[in-house]
Structure 1
Amino acid sequence: MLGQSGSGNDGIYEWLAGADVSGDYDFGKFTGSEYVDESNIGDGWTKLYVAQSADPQPQPPAVPAGLSAASAGSASITLGWTAVTGATGYQIEIDGSSTYVSTTGASYTHSGLAAGSTHKYRVRAVNAAGPSGWSALATATTSQNQPQPPAVPTGLTATASSSASISLGWTAVTGATGYQIEIDGSATYVSTTGASYTHSGLAAGSTHKYRVRAVNAAGTSGWTALVTATTPGQSSASVIDISHNGTDGFTFGETSDQVKRYQTFAANANKKLTKVEVKVKKYNGPTDLTVSLYATKDSKPTGSALATATVKASAIGEDFAVVSVPLAYSGLASGTTYAIVLGQSKNSDYANYEWSTSEVSASLKYGKYSGGKWLDESGIGDGWLKVYVGS
């Protein structure tokens, strides 16, 4: 609508009008009291300029507040912060690395860490417009590993090794620094660092009970179950002695050649075998020593073992020494030849044993198991052996 601010007939305006531009528009005049349509004379020359408002530009989110870092054990640290309005996610900088960890929530757990290690963190929010600034650094340290008491020992055995002693053995416990042995219910325990013990100075025919627990800096394990053993009574014991002062020896416990070694002996009138003693040494950490009694044929071991005992490798040294082995068999026949056979529980060409060997008697036989058969090697001597028998 066009007009002028004042009234009068001396000065007026004229609006250029032409042919009808569009039937959608109307053109007319105001007479002073009413509006009169004059669309029949055309349309007034007009251009309208309309301003369009611009959409607001997205803005990066605010810096996250309240970042905290706390140890969650010896291997992880938990982070938390206040969620930021308008953020679609977050980036976490760990220990200054330029490779950021991304998450959509306002918390994160950093795991797989070393015990007692310190780590620093900062976080920023992100959205389509970009990232916020970084938060202040937060630092936390994982806790140290707490030592744990050892497990209860397993495999406790008690065997009379003579009329005056009983030998104990058990499986070593990982993480144990020693063991305590309770004997006959006494509150005064025997301490040892190894996984074996010999209770000596006992009366013949006496019975004793034992249990064991492991110890370390964190405390003690529970007790094992009780085991009981009885020393044998006095008997007409004797020793079949094939010992010597030789300093040489021959190995056994290998995988193919010197798999086992044997030494024969002749039984006397005593029918009960109680133990044997052998002089051996070990090389390179072998497995446990096996000691067996065999019948013989043509002065060589035959058939299956009549009795077998095992000696823990930890009880045997790297220099020749006598090892006492409880070995029970009650059917020895006077004048009959038997063989004591030595081996190891798992053969190895690298880790094995050596049996002290020297000439004792031409009537005795010494040899090896090789290539699936027993071979006589009596020409190199006799294996150091004492056989304890009784009635």
Structure 2
Amino acid sequence: MTLTDPFPATDTPPHRPGGSGPVRGDGTTTRTRARRRWRAMRWVVGLVLLGAFVTLLLALLRPPSSDTPYAPDAAGPDGGRAVAQILGRHGVHVTYTRSAERAASLARAGTTLAVLPGDTYGDDLSDADLDLLAGTDADLALVGPSDASLAALAPELTWGWGGGYVTTSTASCADPDARAAGTITSAGGGFLPSGPAADRVVTTCFPPDAAEARTGSYAVVDGTRRVAVLDDAVILTNAHLAEAGNAALVLRMLGRHADLVWLVPEADRGADASDGTGASALLPPGSGAVAAWLLVVAVVAIVWRGRRLGPLVAEDLPVVVRASEATRGRGRLYRAGGSRGHAAAGLRAATAARLAARLGVPAGATPEALVDAVVRATGRPAPDVHGLLYGPPPPDDAALLTLARHLDDLESEVRP
């Protein structure tokens, strides 16, 4: 009887002498299969481990940084990370936010609220935002304020008429912070008291124009709370902090209290990742670089595997092998490996397929449906038919030959 491709064995496979583990129908053991799979997958595993190692390095070594101007985590020339790091080393806790609402909730008595220019200078804070900031009890540090911010948060001051070019100004007041700085560089227009009544609470320092001594690039309003105003935000950037006495003035201006709320307003008031309300806030710093690296690794793996597999190519066989020879060869392999279960499964599967075709049983029918059809066609008892088609594997070669003869007899009793 012709052997067909085997189904998976249903019997308990024999054990190879020497304790090498259970033997499958193809002659392999657990150890040999594992060794073959490892040889095939070790380069993939190595590539994955290399990618994971580089990803870990990027996540650990890459410092958190942004490209937002004046932000305390921005390492570029227009960022403020140098100031934030120096303040942190001196015990000042810096809380960075881009939301006026959150800044107002964090600012309280005994803290400093620093307001810096945002994405669209002069239009970042709405009237409602300014009202929230004006209602806090924290000391204010306004750096490069807009007209609206100056009017709402420091109404005792008005803009001067200088500015437009960088000047080095000398402290001309008794304010201790200004005297500690000595000189600063600024391109702002300076500030003036808004009226005679403001003269009593306003101190101006560093006049950008020597002809107007009342104008100052730095001003302090001592009212119910302290409001320090600096006309040029460039002074605190990484690129210009070390010039003249800029660092001394900025650090004393922002570091008067142990807690500093650093506000860089954002024009778009949607989900703010910097405040922890956006989805990206759940990701650690450097996640973008890690994702880009993983994408590169995935593309390389796809190209590598794709080139290795290659397209399918149709090719004529150089030798024509008769089906009987292929069947005998497969039978010898089964016999050499002791795969009686595979051989029996192949015989039963082929017989069941032919019986189903003759009796009109659908290909997806259950074994019970096929057994019932064979019982009606042959008159044999159902347990006998089920045992022949779906019984246990034969224990030895003699039982396998007996099973083959009984299957052939069963098939001969069924006529189309």
TM-score by length of 2: 0.19
Higher RCO (CA-CA < 8 Å; seq separation 6+): 2
Which structure has greater helix proportion?
2
Q: Which is richer in strand?
A: 1
Higher alpha-carbon Rg: 1
TM, length-normalised to structure 1: 0.20
